[in-house]
Amino acid sequence: MSAQQTPVRVLIADDDAVLREIASAMLRQAGFAVQTVASGDAAVAACALRLPDIALLDVEMADGDGYQACLNIRVLPGGAHVPIVMVTGLDDTMSIDRAYEAGATDFVVKPINWALLAHRIRYVMRGARALEALRFSEQKNAALLKAIPDGILLLNERCAIAHCFSPIDGLVNAGGVGNDGSADFLELLPAAARAVAVECLRAALQGKPAAFEFLLGTEPRSIRHFECRYLPNTGGQVLAIVRDVTARKQAEARIHRLAYFDGLTDLPNREWIHEYLTDSLAAARRDDHSVALLYIDLDQFKRINDTLGHETGDALLRHVAERLQAALGYLSDTDVPYRVARVGGDEFIVVLTGNPDITHAEQAAERILAALCAPFTQASYELVVTPSIGIALYPDHGNDAQNLLKNADGAMYEAKSSGRNQMCVYNGALNARALKRLSLEMELRRAFEDSHLEVYYQPKYAASDLKLLGGEALLRWFHPDRGQIPTGDFIAVAEETGLIGDIGRWALQRVCRDLNQWRSEGLVLPYIAVNVSGRDFLHPKALMRLAETVNQAQLPPSLLELELTEGVLMQDAEAGRRSLQALKEFGFSLAVDDFGTGYCSLNYLKRFPLDTLKIDRSFVADINNNTDDAAIVRAIIALGHSLDLKIVAEGVETLAQLQFLRAERCDAIQGFLMSPAVPVGAFRQLIQGPGASLRPDAAERTRLVG
């Protein structure tokens, strides 16, 4: 034994003092630490204070024999694992058996061979340490098995449980048998899973791992999912690992729900309906059946979100989903199954299967139109949301999901452009118009890249004395083959494609170039209004580029008035207010274009740092004949003046309109009464000075108006 090791502590209990002395001397000389006592009771007391590494107990002692002492030591905390060697002078088998029954580890017989005793003790200690290591290993394995959530069973070729290494709650107990007391693994499984369990067992017995799943429970909330894997083992047995996968299955169900269903309306979403449509078309192709697709978009739904907030909009969408389901409920009693899905903010899809014809689709669309025409009551508001519905039929209008969706979507846009709140069935002409629009997009890109767009200016005049105040920069596109392209057509394409940002910056650069040219000629510079796209307005970097363009041109920003529509301002009213404030601080004048056609909250109107309101031409056109239009124009002028804003009327074409606007104290006008939008050269002539005119009858018009 090395000096660094702690000596083995030996407890010797014997009522013979001489023997105690001899044993103590011999063992100390061999390197052991020795404690001696004279009785069995004293040995128990010593162990209670501190357990030795090994104990030598004499069998025959006056105060408590060795057998009783051994029994008492074993019940002490930790005493069960102390090696105990019984020292006896008896050599009969009965005494030896009694020693082992009392819990002895080993025994020695008197007279003791003192030379061999130390070796005997070391041998017993080595065995005790090996046993302790084994016990520790078993404890670790038991703890590991306990930590594993799996049930681990050993099955024989008859599917009987030979051993249960790790039980699983609700299936097998620690004894390796089922809850009903049976050791047959099949009896623990539901009847529906037994056949596959036997089949998998046969595969595992042949050396091939196999697995199957089964359910326990009848009520939906109490159903538990289990997975059983069979692993081949030696000796014609199979290791069965049973895992409770209920949590995983529930998580998968939640993930599937999130992936394939809309959280707001609880309807299937775009991914789900696309897979369903693909499968339905495959079945229809096989059975030579038809499939109908209805694409539904809510008309002007965005204004509700912008005006009343997304919470109201979300509640309205839930109500719409409920009405759609109710409107199509009649199909449950027919041979035309249906599915409804929400595929976008305010877009829904209905798929009709079971060989429907166009009549079925149109009838479903009519039911939807009727269901949504009644007002929705939400938060003290009565809201009316109408749908535009596009219809496409397989195989007439498309042979796959992508084409059918595209054509139904195109039909929906045709219904919307035709006045909304109606249905439209796809036809080839719609596709031709779509191709024409695509062609327009490509040609617009080329026209922009080749500098074929032009900036025209429409003059603005003071309503009171027709003094020229400035102009509005407007884009014009003169196509070499098709002539002038309507501005509304190509601006809409530019907005959709994102090209509007580049075109808008180019237009501002041209305006700055023209202003610098007029300044170099000594002309008095008018203020010029420039339209700002919604894409640029809500992006700080785009606004910075606008400011940099004017700064690089070395022009005062006050010469430029930036015009934005109500719809752009209300996309995000608070962000819009911040953008307006930034532009105002840079020095731009700010105007709301087409005022009265959007849904601008008066609360935000007073918070926006605006300079001008422009009355939309739709109200000006009939102000002399329509009392409602006249009242609206009066109200806008009064409202603007109360907020210290200038008022500009667009589309003024008659003397009667001008006289009405003058009477209501409108500040400025623009329109064909004085001049349409003109090229830069003609506008330059106008700002040159008194006497300049745009066309021969301008002087006469001025005389009549004056």
- The model's pLDDT over 421-433, given as tens digits with 9 standing for 90+, comes to 999 998 876 666 6
Please give the domain boundaries of the chain with CATH numbers for all domains: 9-145 (3.40.50.2300), 148-249 (3.30.450.20), 263-426 (3.30.70.270), 439-705 (3.20.20.450)
Q: What is the pLDDT of residue 229?
A: 92
Strands (E), 188-290: 210-216, 224-232, 238-244
Cα distances (angstroms) measured from residue 135 to each of 50, 140, 142: 22, 9, 10
* Single-letter code of the amino acid located at 298: L
Structure tokens at 286: 């096989």
The sign of the torsion formed by the CA atoms of 102, 106, 111, 117 equals negative
Identity of the residue numbered 622: D
Residue 694 pLDDT exceeds 60: no
Contact between 426 and 392 under an 8 Å Cβ cutoff? The reply is: yes
**C-alpha closest to that of 365 among 313, 406, 425:** 425
Please tell me the predicted confidence (pLDDT) of residue 180.
41
3 state DSSP class of 199: helix
For the chain, give the number of residues: 706
Return the minimum-mean-pLDDT range out of 13-22, 170-179, 647-656, 661-670: 170-179
Q: What is the mean pLDDT of residues 654-677?
A: 94
**In terms of pLDDT, which residue wins out, 43 or 300?**
43
Q: How many whole angstroms from its chain centre is CA 7?
A: 67
Average pLDDT over residues 437-444: 75
CA trace torsion 153, 159, 160, 164 (10° rounding) = 0
Residue 639 CA from chain centroid, whole number: 44
Residue 162 binned pLDDT confidence (cut-offs 50, 70, 90): confident
Q: Residue 496 CB: number of other CB atoms within 10 A?
A: 11
Of the ranges 114-123, 468-477, 603-612, which is most confident?
Answer: 468-477
What is the rounded CA–CA span in Å between residue 13 and residue 590?
Answer: 107
CB 27 within 8 A of CB 52: no
At 141, list the tokens.
């394995």
Q: Which of 118, 94, 128, 112 is nearest to 58 (CA)?
A: 112
Beta strand spans in 535-669 (E) = 560-565, 589-595, 612-615, 646-649, 668-669
Position 183 pLDDT exceeds 50: yes
Whether pLDDT at 157 is above 70:
yes
Region 398-412: what's the mean pLDDT?
91
pLDDT of residue 35: 92
Q: Which has the closest alpha carbon to 680: 385, 389, 459, 375?
A: 459
For 379, the token pair is 């938060």
pLDDT tens per residue, range 600-640? 556 667 788 899 999 999 899 999 999 999 999 999 999 99
Whether residue 261 has pLDDT greater than 50: yes
Q: Which helix (H) or strand (E) holds 422?
A: strand 422-425
> Residue 702 above 70 pLDDT?
no
The share of the chain scoring above pLDDT 90, in percent, equals 36
- The reported pLDDT for the residue numbered 594 is 77
pLDDT of residue 695: 42
Nearest to 405, CA basis, from 259, 270, 286, 261 = 270
pLDDT band, very low/low/confident/very high, at 670 (cuts 50, 70, 90): very high
Residue owning tokens 């069979």: 230
In angstroms, how far is CA 680 from the centroid of its own chain? 52
Please compute the mean of the pLDDT values over residues 684-703 and round it to a whole number.
58
Where is average pLDDT lowest: 316-320, 523-527, 694-698? 694-698
Q: How confident is the model at residue 598 (pLDDT cuts 50, 70, 90)?
A: low
b/e sequence 102-119, b meaning 16+ C-beta within 10 Å: bbbbbbbebebeeeebbe
pLDDT for 480:
79
Distance CA 512, CA 548 (A): 12
What pLDDT is attached to residue 696? 38
Q: How many CB atoms lie within 10 A of CB 81?
A: 12
197-255 per-position pLDDT tens digit: 999 999 998 989 999 999 888 777 778 899 999 988 877 888 888 888 888 888 888 88
Radius of gyration (C-alpha) of the chain in whole angstroms: 47
Tokens of 174: 């620690």
Q: Which pLDDT band, with edges at 50, 70 and 90, does 569 fall under?
A: confident
Higher-pLDDT residue of 488 and 530 is 530
Q: What is the pLDDT, as a whole number, of residue 146?
A: 59
Q: What average pLDDT score do residues 681-686 get?
A: 92
- pLDDT grade for 179, boundaries at 50, 70 and 90: very low
Work out the average pLDDT over 669-690: 89
Q: Quote the pLDDT of residue 341.
A: 95
**CA separation, residue 275 to residues 103, 115, 446, 591 (Å):** 73, 88, 38, 48
CA 31/CA 2 separation, integer angstroms: 9
Check residue 496 and give its pLDDT.
72
3-class SS string, 356-417: CCHHHHHHHHHHHHHHHHCCEEECCEEECCCEEEEEEEECCCCCCHHHHHHHHHHHHHHHHH
Q: Report helix angle 655-663 to 627-642, nearest 10.
A: 40
Residue 703 makes CB contacts below 8 A (sequence gap 6+) with none
Average pLDDT (535-547) is 79
Structure-token pair, residue 415: 């219904």
Burial (CB < 10 A; 0-12, 13-18, 19+), residue 80, is exposed
In terms of average pLDDT, the best of 28-32, 178-182, 484-488, 666-670 is 666-670
- Contact (Cβ atoms closer than 8 angstroms) between residue 353 and residue 328: no
Q: Which amino acid is at 300?
A: Q
Give, rounded to a whole angstrom, the gap between the first and last alpha carbons of the chain: 127
Average pLDDT, rounded, for the chain: 84
User: Given a cut of 90, is residue 482 above it in pLDDT?
Assistant: no
